[in-house]
Amino acid sequence: TARDVDLPVRYGGEEFLLILPHTNLGGAVRLAERIRNQIAFHTFRPSGVPIPVTISCGVAEMKKGDTLASLVKLADVQLYRAKEGGRNQVCSENLE
């Protein structure tokens, strides 16, 4: 689903980052929704037993003056907003 230039990184136990160079917030939200849908509609069958899996995503766009740490913090705020809002959704800062 991602491009060759995108960088997936495991971040903590159950969290992942997907760094999307040259992608605006709208493009990042669309990709997150595609990934979320693919996971939600995929049937995972470890040991032959179907297990429903969903993900929550927080999306942020790097702006002038942001550091990697501040960008991750912005995405993390959106991730927790998605989890608190019922899970299995993508949340981002407001699209302008």
Catalytic residue positions?
14
Q: Strand, coil or helix: what is 54?
A: coil
Q: Is 48 left (phi over 0), alpha (psi -120 to 50) or beta?
A: left
Q: Which residue in this structure is represented by tokens 């990934």?
A: 35
Sequence-distant (6+) residues with CB within 8 A of 44 are 50, 51, 52, 53
Sequence-distant (6+) residues with CB within 8 A of 95 are 25, 26, 29
